[in-house]
Amino acid sequence: MGRKREGRRAKPKSATLRKLDDVEREWRFEPSAGGLQVVGVVVMSLGGLALGAGVYAGLILEDGSPTSKFGPYLLAAGIVLLALYFFFGRGGAQPIRVGDLGVGTEDGDDVHRVAWYQIQSVSRVEGALKLKPVGRAIVVPLAIHPAAARRIAAEAKARIPERCEIEGLGKPSADDPQVEVEPPQVTNLRCAASDTALSIEKDVRICGACGAVYHRKHVPSVCVECGRSFARKRSAA
């Protein structure tokens, strides 16, 4: 019995090996206007109220005493809430891309992507899905990006299951909108197995599961990032 289990374990799941121009489409999610408006209006109103109350509380009554000692706090709270509104109204609500190349956020015409293998953990935090790459965390607010969060969760569970702690988000919709992918820049990329510089697009091979990149001449039999097997796909090089 024990031997049998070991044998099964020694055979890793397989992944396809892609070329850069094999990656043609990915899902794209616009921020939900409804969610954004609700968050925005609530925060904006609270901020405005707090600001107004703060200003009023700061007024001096005729007898020389301030109307309220809470004035400065209300003022501060109002400013924080307004700052939050501007954060969510702009920085926190870009369109999101999800696909073979990882998770991307749009910034005008650019897409900033984090590949799946670069994501160390995917977890659910208060009202949001949180992805932790090496740099700054990506926080996907559920009120603004519910469909993107479900899609990211489903893809992450399939691609990097051991790094996921997500429950209760539900399944992604089969109707999630897809767009064509413009070929990503390969400059500054290095082969994950050999550290060879990947300066020529044609030399790039991508793990179909985690997105790790390799030079076509140095593709290992097993992905160094996700442990899936590339067996029999190398002849395509």
> Which residues contact Zn ion by CB under 5 A?
207, 209-210, 212, 223, 225-226
Distance of CA 209 to the CA centre of its chain: 16
Q: How far is the CB of 160 from Zn ion (least distance, A)?
A: 9
Q: How far is the CB of 36 from Zn ion (least distance, A)?
A: 35
Select 38 or 237, whichever has its Cβ closest to Zn ion. 237
Select 85 or 214, whichever has its Cβ closest to Zn ion. 214
Q: How far is the CB of 31 from Zn ion (least distance, A)?
A: 30
Q: Which residues, at least 6 apart from 2, have a Cβ–Cβ distance to it below 8 Å?
A: none
Select 68 or 229, whichever has its Cβ closest to Zn ion. 229
Q: Are 100 and 15 in contact (CB under 8 A)?
A: no
DSSP state of 89: H
Neighbours of 104 (CB within 10 A): 23
Instruction: Return the closest-CA partner of residue 178 out of 116, 95, 108.
Output: 95
Q: How far is the CB of 216 from Zn ion (least distance, A)?
A: 16
232: left (phi over 0), alpha (psi -120 to 50) or beta: left
Select 36 or 114, whichever has its Cβ closest to Zn ion. 114
